[in-house]
Amino acid sequence: MSTEKLAFLMGAKEFSKPLEDACIRWGIVDGRDKARFLAQCHVESMGFNRVEENMNYSAKRLMQVFPGRNGLTMEIARNLAAEGPRAVANFVYGGKWGRENLGNIHPDDGWKYRGRGLIQTTGRDNYRETSLGMFGDLRLLDDPDMLLLPEYAASSAAYYWYSRWLNGVEDVREVTRRINPALRELDKRRAQTARAYDLLEFLTS
């Protein structure tokens, strides 16, 4: 069963061939694994329409998504929202939390290493790991925007799947937990997984 066909039917369009290549490279070859992988990519990238994290938050939304992060209060959230996406990224992915969880050690690391790719790579440590895994060197630390290109957006997502041992994990909740520990949009992930299974059955019937 072609990953490219399944990805195209799920709306991947320009990412269909890169996803096919990425699945081959990173050993996502079983049909149900492909279906779950593509379903997670679909939700993470808002239907294959976004490969860069949108840091343009309102104050209210910041409080909902990052409650208490680095001492976040409504007053701080209002100021961050007024300053714009760069300030938001450097606050929520910086400070003590960013150092301990993402390896963000420099003042602009939160912005420089914001989420990119179909399964969003976030933080200096994750960019380092992904760069070493994909290329055997640290080029992504110098040029994180490489993950905006379809080839690398897809390959980084497949690498993440491979590195978290997600092949063979049938439980959508557990798959989601390893990709998004906050379990955001779990219902959407379940729905897209069911849809991908249906398309898989159609393609293999």
**What is the amino acid identity at position 133?**
G
The Cα–Cα gap between 106 and 124 comes to: 10
Please identify which residue in the block is written with the tokens 């910041």.
62
Q: Hey, what are 97's tokens?
A: 């939390």
- pLDDT tens for residues 108-159? 999 999 999 999 999 999 999 999 999 999 999 999 999 999 999 999 999 9
The Cα–Cα gap between 76 and 151 comes to: 38
Percentage, residues of the chain above pLDDT 90: 97
Q: pLDDT value at position 38? A: 98
Please identify which residue in the block is written with the tokens 């960013």.
98
Alpha carbon dihedral 155, 158, 163, 166, in 10-degree steps, equals 180
Give 17-26 contacts, CB < 8 A, sequence gap 24+: 18/150, 18/151, 18/153, 18/154, 18/155, 19/118, 19/154, 19/158, 21/151, 21/154, 21/155, 22/154, 22/155, 22/157, 22/158, 22/159, 23/158, 25/155, 25/158, 26/155, 26/158, 26/159, 26/161, 26/162
Residue 8 — pLDDT band, cuts 50, 70, 90?
A: very high
Q: CB of 125 within 8 A of CB of 98?
A: no
Q: Hey, what are 48's tokens?
A: 């294959």
Q: pLDDT value at position 69? A: 96
Q: pLDDT value at position 2? A: 83
CA-derived radius of gyration, the chain: 17
The Cα–Cα gap between 73 and 39 comes to: 34
- pLDDT tens for residues 83-116? 999 999 999 999 999 999 999 999 999 999 999 9
Q: pLDDT value at position 1? A: 62
